[in-house]
Amino acid sequence: MRHPIYAALCFGGVLAISACDAVQDADVDRTITALNVIDETNLSDIMLTVGNPDEAVAYFQRSLRENPDRVDLMRGLAKSLVRANRPGDAADVWAQVIETDEVTNDDRVQLADAYIRSGDWAKAETQLDLIPPTFESYKRYRLEAMVADSNEEWEKSDSFYEIAVGLTTKPSGALNNWGYSKLTRGDFIGAEQLFTRALTYSPDLFTAKNNLVLARAAQRKYDLPPVSMTQIERAQLLHTIALSAIRQGDISTGKALLSQAINTHPQHFDAAVRALASLEDGIGNG
């Protein structure tokens, strides 16, 4: 009489073991899936930062073919296309992102950025206008300022740049853009101040250094500003100042600055040599 009971116990044990195995398999599958998601997220982050832009584009295109509804992969592809200097293609992908249910205000900012990089200022302005004023970000207001610049709406431009600068701990890019805006308006003193501020945050930003000497040269300040620079940068900045002096009719000053640039550069400075030769030919023929 004990055998049926024993058999039932054994059978129950087998079922319990099988059930345990099934639970363990499910747990393992979930764990592997979670790990794959983590690994994929890490890989996506790497591709968006240190990866080769073209390789990143290929990675996200391949991932999207396998998961066409993944909006995060669309965003990754769009950002990679911008890094690969393909803003038109990036705009096309961002346009797809904003048609999804997961669209955010930042997605519209990114689309506006891609439009600006493509030279489509009207479409960029349209996207920025769709973003509520309660959404504040450095990039949003920097783009707003750039659009205002393109429309020559100087008061709006100044206001947006000021807001943008206050929303970041690294405002050198916005300050440089703001300075260039002042430069194009003919406010050379204001431009000089902004380029100098930009360099206090990013001393190696050569664009700001070059713009700074342009603003100073427009005021006929033909000496180099007291900012850090390499020997090659010194020669390049002297070349910029020289050309500015020549355009303003200060020929002898420009000629002296070109000679100084050639002597300063550690290698052959072809652009300065050609400019000086052209200048001397013009003087000789005149």
Q: Average model confidence (pLDDT) for the chain?
A: 87
Residues 214 and 143 in one domain: yes
pLDDT of residue 279: 83
140 and 214 in a single domain? The answer is yes
Could you give the maximum distance between any two Cα atoms of the chain, in Å?
A: 128
Q: 210 with 248, same domain?
A: no
Written as one letter, the residue type at 78 is A
pLDDT value at position 278?
87
Tell me the residue range of the domain where 89 lies: 46-117
CA distance 211 to 51: 31
Instruction: Kindly state whether residue 101 falls inside one of the protein's structural domains.
Output: yes
- On whether residue 64 sits in a domain, the answer given is yes
User: Which stretch of 11-15, 225-229, 246-250 has the lowest confidence by average pLDDT?
Assistant: 11-15
Task: Identify whether 5 is part of a domain.
Answer: no
Asked whether residue 35 is domain-assigned, the answer is no
Q: Say yes or no to pLDDT of 28 above 90.
A: no
257 and 207 share one domain: no
- The answer as to whether 62 is a domain residue is yes
The C-alpha atoms of residue 157 and residue 108 are separated, in whole angstroms, by 20
- Indicate whether 50 and 113 sit together in one domain: yes
Say how many domains are in the chain: 3
Residue 202 covered by a domain: yes
Tokens of 59: 């990675």
The CATH number that applies at residue 186 is 1.25.40.10
Q: What is the distance between the alpha carbons of residues 109 and 143, in angstroms, rounded to a whole number? A: 8
The reply to whether 264 falls in a domain is yes
- Model pLDDT, residue 187: 97
Do 142 and 113 belong together in one domain? no
DSSP character string of 114-129:
HHHHTT-HHHHHHHHH
Averaged pLDDT for residues 122-146? 97
Whether residue 66 is contained in a domain is answered as yes
Mean pLDDT of 14-32: 46
Of the listed ranges 13-22, 42-51, 79-88, 157-166, the one predicted with least confidence = 13-22
Q: Write down the pTM of the prediction.
A: 0.79
The confidence score (pLDDT) of residue 34 equals: 41
List the alpha helices (DSSP H) in the chain.
2-49, 53-66, 71-83, 87-97, 105-117, 121-129, 138-150, 154-166, 172-185, 188-201, 206-218, 231-247, 251-264, 270-285
Residue bearing the bigger pLDDT, 269 or 15: 269
Q: Given a cut of 90, is residue 39 above it in pLDDT? A: no
